[in-house]
Structure 1
Amino acid sequence: MDTIAVPFVVPLEGGSNFRDLGGYRTADGRTVRRGAVFRSAHLGALTDADRASLGKLGVRTIVDLRGVEEAAETPHRIDGIECRVVGAHIEPGIGDRIRRAIADGSASPSLMMQYLTDHYRDYPRRCTPGFRTLFATLSDGRCRPLVFHCTAGKDRTGFASALLLSLLGVPWDTVVEDYLRTNALWIGHLGRYPELDIDTRAAIIEARRPYLEAAFEVVRADFSSPEAFAEKALGLDSAARQRLKAELLED
């Protein structure tokens, strides 16, 4: 019996939401391999102890899903870690919409939920270059162990994690459970949007199942399945997907 908690969370002094995507069971009874792929919030405040932790994990590659300016504003603090940083930039246009709504007084729970839902729908429609870079990198065994992240490790990272787990055959309810873990693990929301009421703020900072489902509704409507999306939009054909399963799953 597996006695290690799933997900395996890596505690960081200067970061949060850093966890192993391994340990989950697939529908056919296999298990996602541990220690190969990690997801996280940004790595711009790591301490010496945090860098030592990443070193022990053997991280070779960091894939940054943040926008160009986002990444420049909070650069990685990874001095001393021998790893490569790959930019897979997905611009956070939703931030401007939220700021405008706050400024003109129109921000409300329902409007923020609509903004987030629209944002997730954009992932498979307009953000594929960044996700293509991520999946090309994590498909290369020489780049693993690998960690990918955005700012919170919630939205862009959440969709990417859900897509990877789905392609590996992890049941949807488990995929959603992993996605929602952010609500307990991400501490970067503290102090954000203090001018908003609690419900409006929550609609922005929380990972919510309808957001993720909106993205996958587009995947199924536009491409028929996550596998077809991976092939047509991300360049992962059947052979590449089978190779990824062979490398990231174990009996």
Structure 2
Amino acid sequence: MSNSPAVGASIPISSVPNLRDAGGYRTADGSRVRTGLVYRSTDLGRVVDEDVAALDALGITTVFDLRTVAEREMLPDRAPTGAKEVPLDVLADRDPSAAPAMMQKILTDPALAEQLLGTGDTNEHLLGSYREFVSLPSAVASYRALFTDLARHDDTPVLIHCTTGKDRTGWAVAALLLFLGVDEDTVFTEYLLTNEQLLPSFTPVFDKFRAAGGNPDILLPILGVRRAYLEAALDQVRTDFGDVETYLSKGLELDAGDLRALQERLLSRD
């Protein structure tokens, strides 16, 4: 019997929540996305001494950091030993300082949170963000650099992360898996694993919010993920390009050689 972890299983490094291998999934033609090459997680700004060896053991050689300049300055990564750090500011064409500050206020002020978030199951700001992952110039440039690097450089394993590893990272991994031929239902399942693997780390935040008189449930749409968010990005792709492969080739301007290299590097025919 194999001792390999289940596909999509959380990698138990407590100071790096939402850490998992993006591989292991079957594609439409029966191939499999290779494991041990692409990981995803939250930021690495809170890695504790006790977790350094476990993180290093993954062998990560490149860290793609999708955060804003302000986010990186607020909490610099403690990257794996010897890993190259590649900053790719997906949201550079937005105000990079307002969002983190406003988020802190929302999480500590229930009245403000209800005013700005309402009580719905999705968040309009995040729906707009996911559409911008496809169209915002800085997002286009960042995802182009990410996928081009994956195609042209044999510097795997890599780690892709943003702050919570759910939105900017979620789109990167979803787009990659869809391009490689993983079916959409499976990609949504992988994407939604974040709710299981990330939200428990926010227990202290939920407890403080409740103690301040708030209903923690209204935070779920911004601290977790929703199917509607990823659907918003895919709708933008279909509107602008028709499908994910054309998004990579026309939107991100990857040439045929890059697309072929991604498949060759990341797919196994076993």
Residues 109 and 200 in structure 1, CA contact (< 8 A), matched pair in contact too: yes
Aligned-pair CA distance for 1:39: 0.6
How far is 1:108 from its partner?
Answer: 0.3
Structure 2 residue matching 1:142: 3-state secondary structure: coil
Q: How many residues align?
A: 250
| Residue aligning to 1:64 | 65
Counterparts in 2 of 1:112 and 1:102: CA distance versus 1, 3 Å: farther
Paired letter, 1:11: P
Give the match's secondary structure for 1:154: coil
Contact 2:148–2:258 (8 Å) recurs in 1: no
Map of 1:108 onto structure 2: 118
Aligned equivalents of 2:21 and 2:141: distance in 1? 24
Superposition deviation, residue 64 in structure 1: 0.2
Write the deviation string for residues 67-93 of structure 1: whole angstroms up to 9, x where unpaired.
101011111123x70110000012366
On the 8 A contact 2:122/2:228 being kept in 1, the answer is: no
Q: Is there any run of 5+ residues in structure 1 with no aligned partner, and where?
A: none
Deviation of 1:119 (Å): 1.4
Distance change (3 Å), C-alpha of 1:165 and 1:84:
same
% identical equivalent positions: 37
CA distance in 2, matches of 1:246, 1:157: 22
User: Separation in 2 of the partners of 1:210 and 1:249?
Assistant: 28
Partner Cα distance (1:2, 1:175) in 2: 24
Amino acid of the structure 1 residue aligned with 2:132: D
Q: 1:97 to 1:215 in 2, by over 3 A?
A: farther
CA distance in structure 1 between the aligned counterparts of 2:85 and 2:31, rounded to whole angstroms: 30
Question: Residue 112 of structure 1 contacts residue 200 of structure 1 at CA under 8 Å; is this kept in 2?
Answer: no
Q: 1:200 aligns with which of 218, 221, 232?
A: 218
**Partner AA of 1:142 in structure 2:** D
Distance 1:106 1:114 in 2: 10
Normalising by structure 1, we get a TM-score of: 0.90
The Cα shift of 1:2 comes to: 6.6
Q: Cα 1:104–1:197, aligned 2, differ >3 Å: closer, same or farther? A: closer
Mapped partners of 1:69, 1:210: distance in 2: 27
Distance 1:144 1:211, change over 3 A: same
Name the SS of the counterpart of 1:189 in structure 2.
helix
Instruction: Choose the corresponding residue for 1:136, options 140, 148, 157.
Output: 148
Displacement of 1:138? 2.0
RMSD of the TM alignment (CA)?
2.4
Q: Residue type of the partner of 1:231?
A: S
Distance 1:178 1:44 in 2: 24
**How far did residue 103 of structure 1 move?**
7.0
Q: How far 1:14 moved relative to its partner? A: 1.2
